[in-house]
Chain A
Amino acid sequence: MLELERIRGDFPILSRQVHGRPLVYLDNAATTQKPRQVIAALVEFYERHNANVHRGVHTLSQEATDLYEATRAHVARFLGAEREEEIVFTRGATESINLVAHAWARENLSPGDEIVLTPLEHHSNLVPWQIVAHERGAALRFIQIDAEGRLELDSARRTIGPRTRLVAVAQMSNVLGTIAPVKELAALAHAQGALILVDGAQSAPHLPVNVRELDCDFFACSAHKMLGPTGVGVLYGRRRLLTQMAPYQAGGSMIASVERECSTYAPAPTRFEAGTPNFADVAAFDAALDYLDALGMDAVREHELALTRYATERLSATPGVVLFGPRNPAQRGGVIAFNYRDLHPHDVGMILDHQGVAVRAGHHCAQPLMQLLDVPAVLRASLYLYNTAAEVDALVEALAAAGALLGRRAPAA
């Protein structure tokens, strides 16, 4: 059981007021709030250890390098990777996926090859594949989802075939919260000699993740969605893959030796970290991982499962609410998409904001999913380890305020 009062006390921003009301922050799929410990780690880095990494002979540079590499080792343990060398730091999950698209897919796809995706994908796990497929004459295929937004395994079996070279799938949907059957998809992919990339931007913060148990070839996530600073992403890649991949960005740090006409490259993961990395934020990310370790990801999931159950029950019991996503809380995370009456999400979202409730309204970087649901936009409330049942109640009350202000539309005259 999480001790919510103590935890909430660790997050300074949660005591803010918005429009004269207590902040009810339910936009965690967009970004998460930071505990004091992470903020302090960043401040301490700049106050005591700031220097560029990997290059210097002086003490500060060594300290900074040690902190940077300590985070790498910590991420490897957190994700269950076998080796630190399998962890690459990027700017975010989007860049991690683009790295695979450029450094692996571009070099390894031939005309007629197929990349298998789902209609749930965030644009970051769709658009890079569109570009690569177009360039290499490959095709995109999509696994079907059912009315609740769950992946249909039968469809996966039909769609992942001999031409498949890559399956790319979000472990947790950033709109519907659907948890994908990654292990089964990995098995299907590998049976066809294909690789599987998992977009873990929403899963790594909310579920215990073990990349070896999932048996995935690549895994991407973002620090800022898991209590860490912005500007830091992770790409996990199987060692034998990373060692064979061409560089993504080129410049300093990723080289071994440089002459006028040609260069040789550093081994992975350094090969994929060109230029000065975001070392201060990487160092502070370690404190976020410490925080999650201390709570335990099983406990985080347990809390969110209970809160998601409560939220979906209260929302489905509220007249006028249309809920999307899996009905069974065990099949989903705490990302809850919904609409309210026939009101536009922007109007509802703005009125909720004036009640202190922060949710997101729009297409959530998932326009193909909006088209599939046949809605221009949806509201999205997304929970995290510091949210409470009382905050869910506040969301429901604020919805009533939106209904009162904008009412039900009378038929056109």
Chain B
Amino acid sequence: MNADAELDELYRDGIVEHYRRPHHAAPLARADASAEGMNPLCGDEVRVELRFDGDRVAEGAAWGRGCAICQASASMMTDEITGLAIDDAERLIGAVEAMLKSGAEPDEDLGDLDALRGVAKFPVRVKCALLPWKVLRDALDERGSSES
């Protein structure tokens, strides 16, 4: 594969689009749960805010300083979790982690998130793509602990 084609595997159109215009990348008017995380080695930082409606994620926002892969992953994530049942959101985190670590086609249709599959070929960047999802898990856990 020539150099340009390899890069296209990583910076797929979907990723560049989400990087150029990230979705839900501003604080929520009202947040029920939030979390922050960073990758100390590369300097990516992500903050996630969530608003719930019963058992569902009504709204999600994610933003921060970071590379294109991290920001795009965060943006795609907010699209996918909006309206999702909390249990399904947690399952989705697992599915995305598995996909990023193995590069294998996921069992379920992950929609736009499929664009992240190329990241698996670049192990150095997997952490970047995973960061928003780890922070999402922390935010969901925060809600879980404040409930009990």
A residues sitting closer than 8 Å to B (CB atoms) are 19-21, 343-347, 350-351, 354-355, 361-363, 370, 375-377, 405-410, 412-413
- CB of B6 within 8 A of CB of A19, answer yes
Query: Is the CB–CB distance between B42 and A346 below 8 Å?
Result: yes
- Determine the distance from Cα of A264 to Cα of B6 in the docked complex, in whole angstroms: 61
- The interface residues of chain A lying within 8 Å CB-to-CB of B122 are 350
| Size of interface on B: residues with Cβ below 8 Å to A | 29
Are B68 and A354 neighbours in the complex by a CB distance under 8 Å?
no
Interface residues of B in 42-99 (CB under 8 A from A): 42-45, 65-70
Does A405 lie within 8 Å of B7, measured CB to CB?
yes
In the complex, how many angstroms separate the beta carbon of A340 from the nearest chain B beta carbon?
12
The 28 listed contacts between A and B (C-beta, < 8 Å) are A19-B2, A20-B2, A21-B3, A343-B68, A344-B43, A344-B44, A344-B67, A344-B68, A345-B67, A346-B42, A346-B125, A350-B7, A350-B10, A350-B125, A354-B3, A354-B6, A354-B7, A355-B3, A376-B45, A376-B65, A406-B68, A407-B20, A409-B20, A409-B21, A410-B21, A412-B21, A412-B25, A412-B26
Point out which of A344, A345, A375, A410 has the most chain B C-beta atoms below 10 A from its C-beta.
A344
- A360 to B: closest C-beta gap in Å: 12
Binding site for A on B (CB under 8 A): 2-4, 6-7, 10-11, 16, 19-23, 25-26, 41-45, 65-70, 122, 125, 128
Q: Are A376 and B16 in contact (CB under 8 A)?
A: no
Residues of B within 8 A of A21 (CB): 3
The residues of A that contact B16 with a CB separation of less than 8 Å are 405-407
Contact A362 B3 (CB under 8 A): no
Please state if A347 and B43 are interface contacts (CB–CB under 8 Å): no
Interface of A is mostly: loop
Q: Which A residues lie within 8 Å of B45 (CB)?
A: 376
The answer to whether B20 touches A362, judged by C-beta atoms less than 8 angstroms apart, is no
Q: Which residue of A lies closest to B10 (CB)?
A: A350
Q: Are B3 and A20 touching (Cβ within 8 A)?
A: yes
Residues of A within 8 A of B20 (CB): 406-410
Q: Return chain A residues, CB-CB under 8 Å to B6.
A: 19, 354
Cα A343 to Cα B66 with chains together (Å): 9
CB-nearest residue of chain A to B2 = A20
Q: Which chain A residues border B2 with CB–CB below 8 Å? A: 19-20
A362 touches B26 (CB 8 A): no
Sample of 18 further A-B pairs with CB below 8 A, known A350-B10, A351-B7, A412-B25: A19-B6, A20-B2, A344-B65, A344-B66, A344-B68, A346-B125, A346-B128, A354-B7, A361-B42, A376-B45, A377-B43, A406-B11, A406-B16, A406-B19, A406-B20, A408-B20, A412-B22, A413-B23
Residues of chain B within 8 A (CB-CB) of A406 are: 11, 16, 19-20, 68
Which of A347, A409, A410 meets B69, CB within 8 Å? A347
Tell me the bound Cα distance from A346 to B16 in angstroms: 14
Residues in B whose Cβ lies below 8 Å from that of A343: 68
- B38, chain A: closest CB distance, angstroms: 8
Which residue of chain B lies nearest to A405 when distances are taken between CB atoms in the complex? B11
Instruction: Looking at the assembled complex, report how far the CB atom of B1 sits from the nearest CB atom of chain A, in whole angstroms.
Output: 9
Interface centre among B4, B70, B122, B128 (most CB of A within 10 A): B4
Q: Which residues of B contact A354 (CB under 8 A)?
A: 3-4, 6-7
Q: Taking each of B3, B19, B69, B122, which has the highest tally of chain A beta carbons within 10 Å of its own beta carbon? A: B3
The interface residues of chain B lying within 8 Å CB-to-CB of A363 are 43
